[in-house]
Chain A
Amino acid sequence: MVVRGLRKSYGERTAVDGVDLEVSTGEVVALLGPNGAGKTTTVEILEGYRARDAGEVSVLGTDPAEATPAWRARVGIVLQSVNDLSELTVRETVRHFAGYYPSPRDPDEVVETVGLTGSADQRSRLLSGGQRRRLDVALGILGRPELLFLDEPTTGFDPAARRTFWRLVEDLAAEGTTILLTTHYLDEAERLAQRVAVMSGGRFLDVAPPSSLGGRHQEVATVSWTEPDGARRSTASAEPTRTVTELAARFDGEVPGLSVTRPTLEETYLRMVGEA
């Protein structure tokens, strides 16, 4: 996927203001950013839902503005909250949609993969929010997509369901599926994505691996420990290893309550978005 100088405005308002991105085959990239940052517009242009004003876009070697059924068969899309299909059961829905694809996965297998086997004969309208999302995911992966768009896929999931879903995404990635994930959950991005793109005001602030996003790996670490009198002490250190060595010498061995922390992805993200 190659995006160069992508722009899109709605009337006066510029939603996407010059975005560049390259995603290689098999890569998982997370797109982060506050509401209104232009994430959905960007993704919908890549999905072939929206027209762009300027820029070059190539997705699986095709301009999504000229999407054909053959291209659509190679792309899986999990949209943000939709409420369709309410009168059909999970199994009916998945079996029906399988008929759209040239070589779909086995529908029952997909239902099992997303953990809906127990609700396979329930109508969609009776599913919980999390189950509903899993049905969306089932339909997204049904056609064995080479590229999968996931737009806030785990909204409404309980923690256990979220972990199960993460393993599913990891399996898909291990099989070579390229994934573009939009999310508000920083832990999700950190766990799943090789690179994270932070978007604000229609631009990318940074595109980097989670460990070095926003220069995070070079930031000052905080070293904390407990003094013999019980007082908690901490110091900011650009060279935490040296600080720890000095502390170890001072305490002659084990340093009580020692911790070395760097800013979490969430703190880094909030700082980046706050500055923008």
Chain B
Amino acid sequence: MSPPATRGAAPATPGVLAIGLRRVRIELLTFSRDRESAFFTVVLPVLLLVVFGSAFNDDVAPGVPFSQYFLAGMIASGVVYTAFQNLAITISQERDDGTLKRLQGTPMPKAAYFVGKIGQVLVLYVAQVALLLAIGVALFDVHLPDDPADWWTFTWVSVLGLVCCTLLGVAFTGLIRTGRGAPALVSPVVLVLQFTSGVFFQYDELPPWMQQMAALFPLKWLCQGMRSVFLPDSFQRQELAGSWELDRVALVLLAWTALALVLALRGFRWRRRDEL
């Protein structure tokens, strides 16, 4: 076997970006082989779109079928699935099974782990949106926006939402004791928000107290931002405020991002609680 490295003039350890990119690759490889997360994060949203889109054909407004409304909600949910739900569950499991402990013992810079996660989230989100849009166009006659301004809105709402939900996912791992219990703790949070934020039901038809509660959380605003992209401008009249309120969408997501950053820094642990 080759001898240990010559002592003293050792070459520099690889940097954050070099290792981070390697981690993106390994994260995607791991994800593609893990059936449970693949189902939860990619298959389930597609399934929901097909089922809900087929079951409810009513128009939510003249010329706006429910499937189109639901598509906007599912793309907003995609942000929550790929960033929040995916990370809260997998990071908790990796803390439990020793992945994090092993990584901590290597020269990998800690930031590289998060570069890997962010890269994974980004790729999964793009793949999921592409899948949802393809199904929407093929099965439900959804019209993709042709105004570049809509695509710009789509981009900034997505990016802001992904950053916010990534940080929230990391923060949420602080509340989770065991990796096995993670899905049971995370999924209900996502589900309740989906019911109250205008994904499964039309937001403007929900009871006011529910609307007010949902308006405290990011998903409601993500949905609203996505509706502004995928629904005709005429639908604005049906929004509670009578407009898309994009400035408020940005403001709420930014505020949650700031809060999530603090919570993530406080909540994230490299070790299981019983090991500290």
Q: List the interface of chain A (C-beta within 8 A of B).
A: 47-49, 69-70, 72-75, 77, 79, 81-88, 92, 96-97, 99-103, 105-106, 109, 113, 123, 139, 143-146, 171-172, 175-177
Dominant secondary structure at the A interface: loop
- Asked if A79 meets B13 with Cβ closer than 8 Å, knowing A69-B108, A69-B109, A72-B107, the reply is no
Contact of A87 among B30, B106, B107, B109 (CB under 8 A): B30
Contact B26 A88 (CB under 8 A): yes
- Asked if A77 meets B105 with Cβ closer than 8 Å, knowing A82-B98, A100-B14, A106-B2, the reply is yes
- Asked if A102 meets B97 with Cβ closer than 8 Å, knowing A96-B26, A97-B106, the reply is no
- Top 8 A-B residue pairs of the complex, sorted by shortest distance between their CB atoms: A82-B98, A84-B99, A69-B107, A87-B33, A72-B107, A73-B107, A77-B105, A102-B11
Q: How many Å lie between the Cα of A21 and that of B5 in the bound state?
A: 26
Q: List the interface of chain B (C-beta within 8 A of A).
A: 1-5, 7, 10-14, 18-19, 22, 25-26, 29-30, 33-34, 94, 97-99, 101-102, 104-109, 271
Contact A109 B2 (CB under 8 A): yes
B26 — which chain A residues lie within 8 A by C-beta?
Answer: 88, 92, 96
Closest Cβ neighbor of A69 among chain B residues: B107
Q: How many Å lie between the Cα of A48 and that of B270 in the bound state?
A: 13
- Asked if A101 meets B101 with Cβ closer than 8 Å, knowing A87-B34, A146-B7, the reply is no
- Asked if A92 meets B29 with Cβ closer than 8 Å, knowing A69-B109, A100-B107, A109-B2, the reply is yes
B12 — which chain A residues lie within 8 A by C-beta?
Answer: 70, 102
Q: Give 13 new A-B contacts, CB below 8 A, not counting A97-B106, A102-B14, A103-B10.
A: A70-B10, A72-B107, A73-B10, A77-B105, A82-B101, A84-B98, A85-B99, A102-B12, A103-B5, A109-B1, A139-B102, A175-B1, A176-B3
Output the least CB separation between A16 and chain B (Å).
16
A145 — which chain B residues lie within 8 A by C-beta?
Answer: 4
Between-chain CB contacts (< 8 Å), 15 pairs: A49-B101, A70-B13, A79-B102, A82-B97, A83-B98, A84-B94, A87-B29, A88-B30, A100-B106, A105-B1, A105-B2, A143-B106, A144-B4, A146-B4, A175-B1
Q: How many Å lie between the Cα of A115 and that of B241 in the bound state?
A: 67
Contact A102 B108 (CB under 8 A): no
B106 — which chain A residues lie within 8 A by C-beta?
Answer: 72, 97, 100-101, 143
Q: How many Å lie between the Cα of A91 and that of B98 in the bound state?
A: 19
B107 — which chain A residues lie within 8 A by C-beta?
Answer: 69-70, 72-73, 100-102, 143
B34 — which chain A residues lie within 8 A by C-beta?
Answer: 87
Contact of B105 among A49, A85, A96, A177 (CB under 8 A): A49
A77 — which chain B residues lie within 8 A by C-beta?
Answer: 105
Q: How many Å lie between the Cα of A106 and that of B1 in the bound state?
A: 9
Contact B13 A102 (CB under 8 A): yes
Q: How many Å lie between the Cα of A177 and that of B18 in the bound state?
A: 28
Contact of A144 among B5, B104, B109 (CB under 8 A): B5
Contact A101 B99 (CB under 8 A): no
Q: How many Å lie between the Cα of A138 and that of B140 in the bound state?
A: 53
Chain B CB count within 10 A is highest, among A70, A99, A172, for A99
- Asked if A79 meets B97 with Cβ closer than 8 Å, knowing A70-B10, A88-B26, A109-B2, the reply is no
Contact A47 B3 (CB under 8 A): no
Q: How many Å lie between the Cα of A103 and that of B94 in the bound state?
A: 27
Closest Cβ neighbor of A101 among chain B residues: B107
Q: How many Å lie between the Cα of A144 and that of B5 in the bound state?
A: 6
Closest Cβ neighbor of B98 among chain A residues: A82
Q: How many Å lie between the Cα of A109 and that of B3 in the bound state?
A: 12
Output the least CB separation between A36 and chain B (Å).
15
Closest Cβ neighbor of A51 among chain B residues: B276
